[in-house]
Amino acid sequence: MTWPSPRGSPHRRRRAVRAAVATVALAIAFGVGLALGEALHDNPRPDGTRTFVRTLKPLPLSPAPVTVTARKPRP
């Protein structure tokens, strides 16, 4: 009877190394993206669009027109 080697099979080791490399690469890509996003957020372009928010006061209303009905007096 043969016992498995304590190191594991070469195929399994390759798979573990690939998974570790992929995990590290994803972590690096995430870190670079996060750093780039923060850098762009901290330093906006000087010619960028600026938004101003202000409250407008309503203008005074003119008086409502008055309707006058003129009749002839009854004789």
pLDDT digits (tens, 9 = 90+) for 13-43: 889 999 999 999 999 999 999 999 888 887 7
Tokens at 16, concatenated? 């573990």
Tokens at 10, concatenated? 């070469």
pTM of the complete model? 0.45
Cβ(13)–Cβ(7) below 8 Å: yes
